[in-house]
Structure 1
Amino acid sequence: MTFPDRIDVHQHIVPPVWARALAAQGLDSGGWAIPDWSLSSAIDMMDQQGIAAGVLSVTAPGVHLGDDAQARDLARAVNEYGAEIVKGRPDRFGHFAAVPLPDVDAAVTEAVYALDTLHADGVVLMSNARGCYLGDPDFEPLWAELDRRAANVFVHPAQPPMPLLPGTAAPLVDYVFDTTRGALNLVLNGVMSRYPDVRVILSHGGGFLPYAAYRFSGLTSTVVNPDHKAEDLLRDLKRFYFDTALSASPSALPALLAFAEPGHLLYGSDWPFAPQEAGTYYNHFLENYPHFTPGQAGAINRKNAEILFPRLAD
């Protein structure tokens, strides 16, 4: 790729106020260190990786670090910081607003403010909010609000509510597991069927959801709850969008392309938590995949994202 073309829906930002809040509590991202971030380094990476625009988001553990009041203030500060970045470079950046779940009322308030006043391009949710998964009935008011606005929702994994595998940071294995767990929870609790206008993007190729989707639909309909029809579960599982961050590999791409609906596969880098060397590694697989149909690679790199983020289409 000789010029910036891609729209990167999975690119992270590290607002200083957020980094300080994590450091003050001795927190990181599931055993993964918080990297440095700057506007200039982001643009340099994007130019080198063929990325025209990146949609920025904070990663796990999100903005709720244990205290509701702190979480409300931190969400507002993080979102205003992201909005200023976009305001300065609207040609290169969008942003997903953070919300302070599991404080549902505050999350709804912040989502409305971010979408209406800050003109965020969507909302980022962690796959679980302090152990509470996104299909929880208590979260219904947030989903209803996001659906009314046909919002883009980026689901990023968080450390699941269990001990880390010894010697293994959560981003290496637990994040993949928790994305899958959170997505299935949304479907089995009916969120994806009740709210058809919200567009939900799953990180990292959806974890192992594309690979195991027919396991979920078949076993649920025949063993767990026969009232759930397999075809209905598959319909709701196929409503998800999937990004390619750390997932554009010779083994993952066939499953993604076989399962994802047309237009539902989007480019992602996961920078800077995944360093540029990792981006190059997975871009090589994406750029050299031999089984794309005509136009499919261009759709993944850009065209599919243009539909979700028309502001970035130009």
Structure 2
Amino acid sequence: MNTDLPRSHGQSRCASDSAKATGNDSRIDTHHHILPPQYAAWLDSRGIADGDRPLPKWSLEGALDLMNENGIAASVLSVSTPGVYLDADADVRGMARAVNEFAADIVSRYPKRFGFLATLPLPDLDGALAETAHAFDTLQADGIILLSNIGGTYLGDASWDPLMAELDRRGATILIHPCALPSDEVPGIPSYAADFLLDTTRAAINIAKSGCLERFPRLRIILSHAGGFLPYAAQRFANLCSADGSSESGINRLRRFYFDTALSSTPYALPSLLSFAEPTHITFGSDWPFAAKERSAYYRQLLDDFPLTDEQRHAIARGNAQALFPRFA
């Protein structure tokens, strides 16, 4: 699983030097996770793991170390899958409030280093609307993180329109993060290996084909992990995503999404992403701590080594994120 890790500790040290040499020592990380202690203990008490691995350890010191070693000036914190809805007996509203206030406290202490995306207690729609108001109006959240499907109902479904309308009213930035498919895993293939990519792609298709992007035009939606396999296979489902059945219309809809580079800055994935996405629609993502420090550094090094223009490099490292998150502008 980790055959793509750096071959030596020295490579990570060189990576930091390379980041500065390429002018990327002021990156903004838009895919940077947080595991508040109360939340981590809550997941552990219910036997929640990261696929076939235990949940990673998180600390503020570890986050800052990762950032400092990889030229990351600021990170936008978010809770990863499974979010806060685990079962009908869980205190979903209370846990959403707890993780949001934990993240907001970090931002208040390090306002130049961190922002955060608020977690919502879906599928409790009334609770989600109330937490949206609290997150933006009281906690000064920078956006929202949504899972690609909630209990098997994908984003883009009309049942989520009241929430999308409120987020559109606020001109919100949303990070869509994948979760387990609403079906059984294939034995030996954990969700994060392949299913997550399909889950993100399903959500993107459903959002586009439903007309959600036209009904709520002020939303800025980032797809995790370079959009799953959306850029690579966009032509295949362009007609399905089109309002008039034309491929061109479908491609134009799909290009309205933003994409982060988390675990996706390889010489195999980047050419597809760069040829599909609008130049202003790609942001840097580390996926720490679910991607351990060495793995995060490796993918960052791949991005540094990839042939980009100075304009592309600055846009991905910082410029595009500044447009999405005014806190860092």
TM-score of the superposition, structure 2-length normalised? 0.90
**Over residues 2-35 of structure 1, what are the superposed CA-to-partner deviations in whole Å (9 max), with x where a residue is unaligned?**
3731000000000112112111211123444211
2:313 is paired with a residue whose SS is helix
Tell whether 2:263 aligns with 1:253: no
Unaligned runs of 5+ in 1: none
Q: 1:87 to 1:213 in 2, by over 3 A?
A: same
On the 8 A contact 1:32/1:171 being kept in 2, the answer is no
On the 8 A contact 1:6/1:267 being kept in 2, the answer is yes
Tell whether 2:228 aligns with 1:210: no
**Deviation, structure 1 residue 68:** 7.0
On the 8 A contact 1:30/1:158 being kept in 2, the answer is no
Unaligned runs of 5+ in 2: 1-18
**Deviation, structure 1 residue 66:** 1.5
**Could you tell me which residue of structure 1 aligns to residue 12 of structure 2?**
none
**Could you tell me which residue of structure 2 aligns to residue 100 of structure 1?**
121
Matches within 5 A, 1:216-295: 216-218=237-239, 220=240, 227-290=244-307, 292-295=308-311
Q: 1:256 to 1:25 in 2, by over 3 A?
A: same
On the 8 A contact 2:279/2:312 being kept in 1, the answer is no
- Among 56, 64, 67, the alignment partner of 1:46 is 67
**Over residues 179-227 of structure 1, what are the superposed CA-to-partner deviations in whole Å (9 max), with x where a residue is unaligned?**
1111111111111121110000000000000111111014x27xxx895
2:75 is paired with a residue whose SS is strand
**Could you tell me which residue of structure 2 aligns to residue 302 of structure 1?**
318
**Over residues 83-106 of structure 1, what are the superposed CA-to-partner deviations in whole Å (9 max), with x where a residue is unaligned?**
001011111101000001111111
**Over residues 217-266 of structure 1, what are the superposed CA-to-partner deviations in whole Å (9 max), with x where a residue is unaligned?**
14x27xxx895333322222111000000000111111111111121000
Q: How many percent of aligned residue pairs carry the same amino acid?
A: 51
- Among 93, 104, 107, the alignment partner of 1:83 is 104
**Could you tell me which residue of structure 1 aligns to residue 204 of structure 2?**
183
**Deviation, structure 1 residue 111:** 1.1
- Count of residues paired in the alignment: 308
On the 8 A contact 1:152/1:200 being kept in 2, the answer is yes
Tell whether 2:146 aligns with 1:128: no
**Could you tell me which residue of structure 2 aligns to residue 139 of structure 1?**
160
**Deviation, structure 1 residue 127:** 0.8
Letter in 1 for 2:323: I
On the 8 A contact 2:282/2:320 being kept in 1, the answer is yes
Matches within 5 A, 1:51-62: 51-62=72-83
1:135 is paired with a residue whose SS is coil
**Deviation, structure 1 residue 78:** 0.7
TM-score of the superposition, structure 1-length normalised? 0.94
Letter in 2 for 1:230: S
**Deviation, structure 1 residue 69:** 6.2
On the 8 A contact 2:200/2:224 being kept in 1, the answer is yes
